[in-house]
Amino acid sequence: HRITLLVMAAAKVKKCELGPWQISTTQGAILKSECTAGAEAAHDAKECTECCFSELKYPLPEMVFGENCLRFANEAGFALEFRALDALRLVDDKKEWMHVPVADEWQKERQGVAGVDKCSNPYDWTYSTGYRGTVIGDVTVTPTEDRINLEKLKEREEILFFDEILLFEDELGDNGGAQL
């Protein structure tokens, strides 16, 4: 196996090759609150990290790491990636699913007040997502009855590669925390 550390622009990239697989992590800065290129500047909005996140129609988590990525690539030409934008695309932007413990009591105390029973900005403010990664390349994912060999996982082996990749984080208005 071979481990490589590259620093490219503002992002740090780590790579590890294991047989036909290349595992890589990319870590960058927290996403800016808006595009800094400006409306009159000539830039490709599809390539601009901040512009890409503007497609989401709900408030973003407090910290989004738009360039961060965990990638498992196979030499056969397919890969599995984990990226913030793809994860946040699966957050429900139509309905508020969670209420803080004091919400019911707060509403009872304000019965009869117009608009108190309606959420002004309905979206899943906990940023819950069913994201399981983004498949890249010509590969078909099918359900299987195969299971992970738990006994094999219990064996002590050398750790060949480790990195921690954070895609987004939010304190949920002091009502807990969300992290992916």
Dihedral sign, Cα of residue 113, residue 115, residue 118, residue 119:
negative
DSSP 53-93: HTT--SPPPSEE-TT-EEEEEETTS-EEEEEHHHHHTTS-S
Better-scored residue on pLDDT, 69 or 89: 69
Average confidence (pLDDT) over 147-171: 88
In this predicted structure, what is the pLDDT of residue 170?
78
pLDDT, one tens digit per residue, over 2-46 is: 555 554 556 788 999 999 999 999 998 877 766 666 655 565 555
Per-residue pLDDT band for 67 (boundaries 50, 70, 90) equals confident
In this predicted structure, what is the pLDDT of residue 90?
81
**Global pTM?**
0.70
pLDDT, one tens digit per residue, over 82-130 is: 998 888 888 766 665 555 555 566 566 666 665 555 555 555 556 677 7
